[in-house]
A and B are shown apart, each in its own frame.
Chain A
Amino acid sequence: MAGVLPPEVEELFDAALVGELTVVGRKGRPITYPLIPLYDGQYVYLTSAVLFSKKLGHIKANPKVSISLSDPVAVPAANFARVTLQGDAEVIEDDTHEGWEELLPLWRAKEPVIDSFVKKRFAIPLFFERSIIRITPKRVLYWRGGDTEVDPQVFELEGVS
Protein backbone atom coordinates (compact mmCIF):
# COMPACT_ATOMS: atom_id res chain seq x y z
CA MET A 1 0.00 0.00 0.00
CA ALA A 2 1.31 3.42 -0.93
CA GLY A 3 2.14 5.68 1.98
CA VAL A 4 0.83 9.16 2.61
CA LEU A 5 4.14 10.78 1.72
CA PRO A 6 5.50 11.22 -1.82
CA PRO A 7 7.70 8.22 -2.72
CA GLU A 8 10.88 10.29 -2.89
CA VAL A 9 10.19 11.58 0.63
CA GLU A 10 9.32 8.13 1.93
CA GLU A 11 12.70 6.90 0.73
CA LEU A 12 14.38 9.55 2.86
CA PHE A 13 12.33 8.75 5.98
CA ASP A 14 12.97 5.05 5.52
CA ALA A 15 16.72 5.69 5.44
CA ALA A 16 17.03 8.47 8.01
CA LEU A 17 19.01 7.61 11.13
CA VAL A 18 18.76 11.12 12.51
CA GLY A 19 16.35 13.97 11.88
CA GLU A 20 15.86 17.34 13.53
CA LEU A 21 12.56 17.66 15.39
CA THR A 22 11.54 21.26 15.97
CA VAL A 23 8.90 22.06 18.55
CA VAL A 24 7.47 25.36 19.74
CA GLY A 25 8.71 26.15 23.21
CA ARG A 26 7.48 28.49 25.86
CA LYS A 27 7.31 32.07 24.60
CA GLY A 28 6.88 30.71 21.07
CA ARG A 29 10.57 29.98 20.51
CA PRO A 30 11.49 27.11 18.19
CA ILE A 31 13.60 24.39 19.84
CA THR A 32 15.29 21.66 17.81
CA TYR A 33 16.20 18.13 18.96
CA PRO A 34 18.10 15.49 16.95
CA LEU A 35 16.17 12.18 17.05
CA ILE A 36 15.74 9.00 15.01
CA PRO A 37 12.54 9.20 12.91
CA LEU A 38 10.45 6.12 12.13
CA TYR A 39 7.79 5.96 9.42
CA ASP A 40 5.04 3.38 8.94
CA GLY A 41 3.45 4.72 5.75
CA GLN A 42 0.97 6.89 7.63
CA TYR A 43 2.65 8.58 10.55
CA VAL A 44 6.16 9.67 11.46
CA TYR A 45 7.11 8.42 14.90
CA LEU A 46 9.78 9.45 17.32
CA THR A 47 10.32 8.14 20.82
CA SER A 48 11.63 10.07 23.78
CA ALA A 49 12.97 8.66 27.02
CA VAL A 50 11.32 10.20 30.07
CA LEU A 51 14.86 11.25 30.99
CA PHE A 52 14.66 13.82 28.20
CA SER A 53 11.04 14.82 28.61
CA LYS A 54 11.21 18.60 28.08
CA LYS A 55 10.24 18.25 24.43
CA LEU A 56 7.19 16.21 25.44
CA GLY A 57 5.93 19.06 27.60
CA HIS A 58 6.39 21.49 24.71
CA ILE A 59 4.46 19.23 22.32
CA LYS A 60 1.61 18.80 24.77
CA ALA A 61 1.38 22.59 25.04
CA ASN A 62 1.61 23.11 21.26
CA PRO A 63 1.32 20.08 18.96
CA LYS A 64 2.59 21.85 15.84
CA VAL A 65 6.00 20.46 14.96
CA SER A 66 8.34 19.94 12.05
CA ILE A 67 10.99 17.37 11.34
CA SER A 68 13.85 17.94 8.94
CA LEU A 69 16.14 15.50 7.24
CA SER A 70 19.16 17.52 6.33
CA ASP A 71 22.43 15.68 6.95
CA PRO A 72 23.63 13.34 4.14
CA VAL A 73 25.65 11.33 6.69
CA ALA A 74 22.61 10.76 8.88
CA VAL A 75 20.31 10.11 5.89
CA PRO A 76 22.12 7.48 3.82
CA ALA A 77 19.56 7.39 1.00
CA ALA A 78 20.48 6.56 -2.60
CA ASN A 79 18.72 9.72 -3.82
CA PHE A 80 19.62 12.15 -1.07
CA ALA A 81 17.49 15.24 -0.80
CA ARG A 82 16.62 17.60 2.02
CA VAL A 83 13.13 17.67 3.40
CA THR A 84 11.11 19.38 6.11
CA LEU A 85 7.84 17.78 7.16
CA GLN A 86 5.33 19.81 9.14
CA GLY A 87 2.55 18.19 11.07
CA ASP A 88 0.57 17.74 14.24
CA ALA A 89 2.16 15.68 16.98
CA GLU A 90 0.52 13.62 19.64
CA VAL A 91 2.30 12.26 22.70
CA ILE A 92 1.30 8.67 23.42
CA GLU A 93 2.35 7.50 26.86
CA ASP A 94 -0.35 5.22 28.24
CA ASP A 95 2.38 2.67 28.86
CA THR A 96 5.89 4.14 28.89
CA HIS A 97 7.32 0.73 29.77
CA GLU A 98 6.16 -1.34 26.82
CA GLY A 99 3.99 0.86 24.60
CA TRP A 100 6.90 2.14 22.52
CA GLU A 101 8.01 -1.44 21.83
CA GLU A 102 5.35 -1.65 19.11
CA LEU A 103 7.76 0.55 17.11
CA LEU A 104 10.65 -1.88 17.58
CA PRO A 105 10.23 -3.49 14.14
CA LEU A 106 10.61 -0.07 12.47
CA TRP A 107 13.49 0.86 14.77
CA ARG A 108 15.21 -2.50 14.28
CA ALA A 109 15.08 -2.09 10.49
CA LYS A 110 17.22 1.02 10.80
CA GLU A 111 19.25 0.18 13.86
CA PRO A 112 19.52 -3.59 14.44
CA VAL A 113 21.65 -3.00 17.53
CA ILE A 114 18.57 -1.72 19.39
CA ASP A 115 17.69 -5.30 20.36
CA SER A 116 20.91 -5.73 22.30
CA PHE A 117 20.29 -2.43 24.10
CA VAL A 118 16.75 -3.45 25.01
CA LYS A 119 18.05 -6.71 26.48
CA LYS A 120 20.20 -4.63 28.83
CA ARG A 121 17.41 -2.26 29.83
CA PHE A 122 17.86 -3.25 33.48
CA ALA A 123 21.16 -1.34 33.47
CA ILE A 124 19.57 1.99 32.55
CA PRO A 125 15.85 1.43 33.16
CA LEU A 126 14.70 5.04 32.89
CA PHE A 127 16.12 5.27 29.36
CA PHE A 128 13.67 2.57 28.32
CA GLU A 129 10.64 4.26 29.81
CA ARG A 130 9.66 6.07 26.63
CA SER A 131 6.85 8.17 25.23
CA ILE A 132 5.85 7.97 21.58
CA ILE A 133 5.60 11.15 19.53
CA ARG A 134 3.27 10.45 16.62
CA ILE A 135 3.26 13.06 13.86
CA THR A 136 0.42 13.35 11.38
CA PRO A 137 2.03 14.91 8.27
CA LYS A 138 0.39 18.06 6.93
CA ARG A 139 2.93 19.53 4.55
CA VAL A 140 6.28 18.53 3.10
CA LEU A 141 8.94 20.84 1.69
CA TYR A 142 11.34 18.98 -0.56
CA TRP A 143 14.68 20.22 -1.86
CA ARG A 144 15.72 17.96 -4.74
CA GLY A 145 19.38 16.98 -4.56
CA GLY A 146 19.56 18.69 -1.17
CA ASP A 147 19.96 22.10 -2.77
CA THR A 148 18.37 24.57 -0.36
CA GLU A 149 19.47 27.60 -2.39
CA VAL A 150 16.40 27.08 -4.56
CA ASP A 151 12.72 27.09 -3.65
CA PRO A 152 11.47 23.78 -2.28
CA GLN A 153 8.78 21.72 -3.89
CA VAL A 154 5.78 21.85 -1.54
CA PHE A 155 3.44 18.91 -1.02
CA GLU A 156 0.21 19.75 0.83
CA LEU A 157 -1.10 16.68 2.59
CA GLU A 158 -4.39 18.01 3.97
CA GLY A 159 -6.86 15.24 4.50
CA VAL A 160 -4.24 12.87 5.82
CA SER A 161 -5.18 11.33 9.16
Chain B
Amino acid sequence: MTGTPPEPVQIVKQRRDAALTALVQGVPYIKWLGIEFERRGDELTAVLGYDDKLIGNPFLPALHGGVTAAFLEVTAIISFSWVMFWDEIEDGRFDAQSLVEGQLPRLPKTIDFTVDYLRSGLPRDAYARAVINRSGRRYASVHVEAWQDNRDRKYAQATGHFLMPDREV
Protein backbone atom coordinates (compact mmCIF):
# COMPACT_ATOMS: atom_id res chain seq x y z
CA MET B 1 0.00 0.00 0.00
CA THR B 2 1.27 3.39 -0.90
CA GLY B 3 -0.02 6.87 -0.11
CA THR B 4 0.87 9.89 1.95
CA PRO B 5 2.07 8.98 5.43
CA PRO B 6 -0.01 10.30 8.34
CA GLU B 7 0.93 13.78 9.56
CA PRO B 8 3.18 13.91 12.63
CA VAL B 9 1.07 14.28 15.79
CA GLN B 10 2.77 17.53 16.84
CA ILE B 11 1.82 19.22 13.59
CA VAL B 12 -1.83 18.16 13.89
CA LYS B 13 -2.02 19.29 17.52
CA GLN B 14 -0.29 22.56 16.86
CA ARG B 15 -2.61 23.40 13.97
CA ARG B 16 -5.76 22.62 15.97
CA ASP B 17 -4.58 24.42 19.11
CA ALA B 18 -3.52 27.49 17.13
CA ALA B 19 -6.95 27.66 15.49
CA LEU B 20 -8.73 27.32 18.85
CA THR B 21 -6.55 29.91 20.54
CA ALA B 22 -7.10 32.35 17.68
CA LEU B 23 -10.86 31.85 17.83
CA VAL B 24 -11.12 32.32 21.61
CA GLN B 25 -8.50 34.95 22.35
CA GLY B 26 -9.78 37.40 19.78
CA VAL B 27 -12.93 38.04 21.85
CA PRO B 28 -12.37 40.50 24.74
CA TYR B 29 -15.50 39.47 26.68
CA ILE B 30 -14.40 35.80 26.83
CA LYS B 31 -11.11 36.91 28.34
CA TRP B 32 -12.83 39.31 30.76
CA LEU B 33 -15.09 36.55 32.09
CA GLY B 34 -12.12 34.16 32.37
CA ILE B 35 -13.40 31.40 30.10
CA GLU B 36 -10.92 28.93 28.59
CA PHE B 37 -11.44 25.97 26.28
CA GLU B 38 -9.93 22.51 26.61
CA ARG B 39 -9.71 20.30 23.54
CA ARG B 40 -9.71 16.52 23.12
CA GLY B 41 -9.66 15.83 19.38
CA ASP B 42 -12.60 17.86 18.14
CA GLU B 43 -14.42 17.84 21.50
CA LEU B 44 -14.38 21.14 23.41
CA THR B 45 -15.03 21.76 27.09
CA ALA B 46 -15.40 25.35 28.29
CA VAL B 47 -13.98 26.14 31.72
CA LEU B 48 -15.14 29.17 33.72
CA GLY B 49 -12.46 29.83 36.35
CA TYR B 50 -13.93 31.15 39.59
CA ASP B 51 -13.50 34.83 40.40
CA ASP B 52 -15.21 37.02 43.03
CA LYS B 53 -16.53 39.35 40.33
CA LEU B 54 -18.76 36.53 39.02
CA ILE B 55 -20.90 36.51 42.19
CA GLY B 56 -24.53 37.66 42.02
CA ASN B 57 -25.67 36.89 45.55
CA PRO B 58 -22.88 37.40 48.09
CA PHE B 59 -25.00 36.09 51.00
CA LEU B 60 -25.42 32.55 49.66
CA PRO B 61 -22.96 32.99 47.83
CA ALA B 62 -23.94 32.10 44.26
CA LEU B 63 -22.76 32.86 40.72
CA HIS B 64 -24.73 35.61 38.96
CA GLY B 65 -27.47 34.30 36.65
CA GLY B 66 -26.11 36.58 33.95
CA VAL B 67 -22.67 34.98 34.29
CA THR B 68 -24.22 31.56 33.79
CA ALA B 69 -26.16 32.80 30.75
CA ALA B 70 -23.03 34.39 29.28
CA PHE B 71 -20.92 31.28 29.96
CA LEU B 72 -23.47 29.09 28.17
CA GLU B 73 -23.76 31.51 25.24
CA VAL B 74 -19.99 31.79 24.80
CA THR B 75 -19.73 27.98 24.90
CA ALA B 76 -22.49 27.65 22.29
CA ILE B 77 -20.95 30.19 19.89
CA ILE B 78 -17.35 28.91 20.15
CA SER B 79 -18.37 25.23 19.95
CA PHE B 80 -20.59 25.91 16.97
CA SER B 81 -17.90 27.98 15.20
CA TRP B 82 -15.41 25.20 15.93
CA VAL B 83 -17.61 22.64 14.15
CA MET B 84 -18.21 25.12 11.33
CA PHE B 85 -14.47 25.69 10.79
CA TRP B 86 -13.28 22.13 11.49
CA ASP B 87 -12.90 21.05 7.84
CA GLU B 88 -11.01 24.24 7.03
CA ILE B 89 -8.74 23.77 10.03
CA GLU B 90 -7.99 20.21 8.96
CA ASP B 91 -7.17 20.96 5.34
CA GLY B 92 -5.18 24.08 6.23
CA ARG B 93 -7.51 26.71 4.73
CA PHE B 94 -8.14 28.18 8.21
CA ASP B 95 -5.36 30.70 8.70
CA ALA B 96 -4.78 30.98 12.46
CA GLN B 97 -1.99 33.49 11.96
CA SER B 98 -4.23 36.08 10.29
CA LEU B 99 -6.73 35.54 13.11
CA VAL B 100 -4.11 36.33 15.71
CA GLU B 101 -3.43 39.51 13.78
CA GLY B 102 -7.03 40.53 14.38
CA GLN B 103 -8.79 39.27 11.28
CA LEU B 104 -11.42 37.18 12.99
CA PRO B 105 -13.87 35.33 10.74
CA ARG B 106 -17.55 36.23 10.95
CA LEU B 107 -19.05 34.32 13.85
CA PRO B 108 -22.63 33.02 14.07
CA LYS B 109 -25.16 35.55 15.43
CA THR B 110 -27.50 34.69 18.29
CA ILE B 111 -31.19 34.84 17.34
CA ASP B 112 -32.51 33.70 20.70
CA PHE B 113 -31.16 32.01 23.81
CA THR B 114 -33.15 30.30 26.57
CA VAL B 115 -31.47 29.45 29.86
CA ASP B 116 -32.85 26.89 32.29
CA TYR B 117 -31.43 27.48 35.78
CA LEU B 118 -31.42 24.12 37.56
CA ARG B 119 -29.37 24.83 40.70
CA SER B 120 -27.63 27.84 42.10
CA GLY B 121 -24.08 28.20 40.78
CA LEU B 122 -21.56 27.51 43.53
CA PRO B 123 -18.56 29.79 44.06
CA ARG B 124 -16.13 27.53 42.20
CA ASP B 125 -15.13 26.58 38.64
CA ALA B 126 -17.82 25.60 36.14
CA TYR B 127 -17.64 23.51 32.96
CA ALA B 128 -19.82 23.39 29.84
CA ARG B 129 -20.18 21.45 26.62
CA ALA B 130 -22.38 22.11 23.61
CA VAL B 131 -24.15 19.83 21.15
CA ILE B 132 -25.14 21.08 17.69
CA ASN B 133 -28.64 19.67 17.24
CA ARG B 134 -29.10 21.11 13.81
CA SER B 135 -26.88 23.06 11.49
CA GLY B 136 -28.54 24.13 8.24
CA ARG B 137 -27.61 26.56 5.54
CA ARG B 138 -29.02 29.58 7.41
CA TYR B 139 -30.00 28.51 10.92
CA ALA B 140 -28.55 26.33 13.65
CA SER B 141 -29.90 25.00 16.93
CA VAL B 142 -27.38 24.44 19.74
CA HIS B 143 -27.87 22.93 23.20
CA VAL B 144 -25.42 23.58 26.06
CA GLU B 145 -25.07 21.96 29.48
CA ALA B 146 -23.05 23.28 32.40
CA TRP B 147 -21.97 21.54 35.58
CA GLN B 148 -19.62 22.07 38.50
CA ASP B 149 -18.61 19.19 40.79
CA ASN B 150 -20.61 16.39 39.18
CA ARG B 151 -21.08 15.94 35.45
CA ASP B 152 -24.45 14.27 36.17
CA ARG B 153 -25.75 17.22 38.21
CA LYS B 154 -26.12 20.03 35.70
CA TYR B 155 -26.52 23.46 37.30
CA ALA B 156 -27.81 25.07 34.10
CA GLN B 157 -28.62 24.28 30.49
CA ALA B 158 -29.62 26.34 27.50
CA THR B 159 -30.84 26.11 23.93
CA GLY B 160 -30.12 28.80 21.38
CA HIS B 161 -30.78 29.49 17.74
CA PHE B 162 -28.07 31.05 15.62
CA LEU B 163 -27.88 32.71 12.25
CA MET B 164 -25.06 31.40 10.09
CA PRO B 165 -22.64 34.11 8.99
CA ASP B 166 -22.41 35.01 5.29
CA ARG B 167 -19.28 33.34 4.05
CA GLU B 168 -17.65 32.86 0.71
CA VAL B 169 -15.79 29.54 0.89
A and B: real partners? no
* Residues in B lying within 8 Å of A, measured CB to CB: none
* Residues in A lying within 8 Å of B, measured CB to CB: none
